[in-house]
Structure 1
Amino acid sequence: MIYEMTVQVRVSDMTEGQKWYQMLLNKKPDFIPHEGFAEWELIPGCWLQVAEGVPSEGSGPIRLGIVNLEAERERLVKELQVEYFEICSRAEVPVKWATFSDPWGNRIGLFEYVDPSDTKERVKTILGRICNS
């Protein structure tokens, strides 16, 4: 049984990397066990680790579900100087999505459900699983 997950990205400059991911995620790390390493719990049981080291080329993207893709794109372009990125969609896919890179080349994706009721249902399902565990 899988009950938790962790995904790791590497950055060549931990000070700048921690600052960048703190701005991306709108919160300070939840856990810093030692120098060169920081973790954020994105949702219960789902962790993003940022470690100092050589970034892995061609991996990812890590995709994060958000509520408003257009607004988040504008925030990232303005606050983190992320290069403006295209938002994609297809009629048969219930989400729209976009992909960009952090300053170290790690690919990050964002997605938003097209129907807001799908977002509410996913949140309800996730919270229900957590509460019923």
Structure 2
Amino acid sequence: MERKYYFFISIFLTLIIGWGSLAPIGDSMPSTISISDKAIHILAYFLLTLSWLFSYKKESKKLKVSIIILVIVFIYGIIIEVLQGTVTKNRQPEAYDLLANLTGIILAITVFKQGLQKNF
């Protein structure tokens, strides 16, 4: 896939995660779904980080670029948590959400460096 497609996917995921994190929580989610909030954070930030790594695949071979992506995605997560505490009425920031975000980010970088980068 061309870089521009990965870039589009990255922007889309960034916006969707931002919207999903700041949208009001209502009764719209069926009660039969029992997915851990932290698992959702891990998966979301795993996919977000992976998409940005693929967007800059050639540059991501350098550890410095991967670390920059890690830092930017983590800061994005911090901004989202702060906004949850300031601009939403029924959401609050949680330190464990940031830990889950960081777990997803580190997993993505590990998976990318260990195998995906070589195959794409």
Higher share of residues assigned strand: 1
Q: TM-score, normalised by structure 2?
A: 0.32
Greater RCO, CA 8 A, separation 6+: 2
Q: TM-score, normalised by structure 1?
A: 0.30
Higher share of residues assigned helix: 2
